[in-house]
Amino acid sequence: MERLHLTLRTLLLLCVVYNVYTYNITDEDQLHKDLFTNYNNELRAGNDRDFPLNVSMTFYLMAIKEFVEATSKFSVNSVFIITWRDERLSWNPAMYQNIQKTMVSQNKIWLPTMVTSNPFEEAQGLGSDLVKVFLYNDGSCVWVIMQSFEVICDANVKYYPFDKQFCSIRFGTYSFDSNWLNITFPNSDINLIYYEENGLWEIEDTLAFSTVDRGAAEIIFGIYLKRRSTYYIASLLVPMTFVAVLQSFVFLLPNESGERIGFSVTMLLASVVFLTLIQEKLPESSEPSVSILGYLLLGYISLGGVVTLVVIISSNLYIETKPVPKWLQHLCCERQTDTDGSELYSIKDVPPAQREDGFKEQCELCWKKIGMKFDRFCFVMSIILYVVQVIIFIAIVRD
């Protein structure tokens, strides 16, 4: 008997559930006809015209498509969920086979229209003809929009490639002032639950808020970005520094090889190529600041130019034939003793007839010795200067 009662209760429950969801297309069609009879989508929703309509917005960031610093172009894929209540679109479910919700095209009802206020090219509004709006029996409207946006984001490349950026997507309700619409946000940030990580940018924080500008509400969705610098270190910063430091080793090349000038000029041109690559990636403007990496590369090129000039001077020392000045003789000429015991400091102080062969050969090679010592000094100094530039750069970008 108990089993029979349990079976009957189960069947009754199934019948109730079945009856709840047994409306057909005719019922829904009749609902649409009744809802939109004498409905004017030009009139703002909300029965009480003395108070603004509450509109709730949630912004879901799906992906960052690109961020081009040179042109200040920032584009994203996103999803908006906007909800409000329009009492004109409410109905009694019992009169329509318990229909709880339905969908209509967005052009059939009133919408809280918004347009981008910082577009990259043309201003665009929310939604499209393919988008549907969910209507619920209490008059609630849920507008789900999946859309791409391209906006202007001025990049601050001072610390490139270790820079951080703030980009915002702004919307203005220019058709309605703040007395007509009250924009609210369930959360004070952007929802990242469906976000796909970007290979070049990492999101540190987000924000969402609205302000009133000249009577119209402006909705701002901000994104704090941090550049993933590993790629730039491996493909730009390290090779650029290696090429610059390699130029110092020109002082270790034998002068007899005849390749010193060619090697120095080649390394200098390689640094110029890196400068060209950096300029292609960065904005052309000087505001708000110029990249410190540009200054570093400028220092590399300037020092490379000085190295090239010094190499030319050093090469001339090896082929110099003039007598060595007294203030340079201590670099190469050892003191020699004459037959009478007196010291000889310079070859030009000794009569030709009294010059010994060993002393003569030593002073003939004096310019070469001076050139070799000069090269070693320049090599050490150039390495030190390159290291100092790198240390200063690292100290600034980590500040």
The mean predicted confidence, pLDDT, of the chain is: 79
Whole-number CA gyration radius for the chain: 40
| pLDDT bracket for residue 123 (50, 70, 90) | confident
pLDDT exceeds 60 at position 81: yes
Please state which of the four CATH numbers 3.30.70.260, 2.60.40.10, 1.10.10.1100, 2.70.170.10 is assigned to the domain occupying 2-228: 2.70.170.10
Q: Are strands 53-68 and 181-184 parallel, antiparallel or unpaired?
A: parallel
| Segment 303-314 mean pLDDT | 86
CB 226 within 8 Å of CB 204: yes
CB 155 within 8 Å of CB 283: yes
CA gap 359, 374 in Å, rounded? 22
DSSP assignment of 143-194, as one string? EEEEEEEEEE-----TTTTS-EEEEEEEEEEEEEETTTEEEE-SSSS-B-TT
Q: At what angle do helices 238-246 and 292-318 cross, to 10 degrees?
A: 20
pLDDT exceeds 60 at position 316: yes
pLDDT exceeds 50 at position 19: no
Which pLDDT value is given to residue 260?
83
CA gap 179, 176 in Å, rounded? 8
Give the start-to-end residue ranges of the domains of the chain.
2-228, 231-319+365-397
User: What tens digit of pLDDT does each residue of 187-228 get?
Assistant: 888 999 999 999 889 999 999 888 876 667 788 999 999 999
Q: Are strands 132-136 and 101-105 parallel, antiparallel or unpaired?
A: antiparallel
Q: Are strands 164-177 and 115-116 parallel, antiparallel or unpaired?
A: antiparallel
Classify the C-alpha dihedral 389-392-394-396 as positive or negative. Answer: negative
For the question of whether the overall pTM of this predicted structure is more than 0.95, the answer is no
One-letter amino acid of 232: Y
User: What tens digit of pLDDT does each residue of 363-384 get?
Assistant: 556 777 777 888 888 899 999 9
CA gap 124, 238 in Å, rounded? 42
Which pLDDT value is given to residue 135?
93
Which pLDDT value is given to residue 152?
92
Please state which of the four CATH numbers 1.20.58.390, 3.40.50.720, 3.40.390.10, 2.40.420.20 is assigned to the domain occupying 231-319+365-397: 1.20.58.390
CA dihedral in degrees (173, 174, 175, 181; nearest 10)?
40
pLDDT exceeds 70 at position 7: no
Task: Name the residue with higher pLDDT: 127 or 102.
Answer: 102
Which pLDDT value is given to residue 18?
40
CB 63 within 8 Å of CB 199: no
User: What tens digit of pLDDT does each residue of 30-63 get?
Assistant: 999 999 888 888 888 888 877 888 889 899 999 9
3-state secondary structure 86-146: CHHHCCCHHHHCCCCEEEEEHHHCCCCCCEECCECCCCCECCCCCCEEEEECCCEEEEEEE
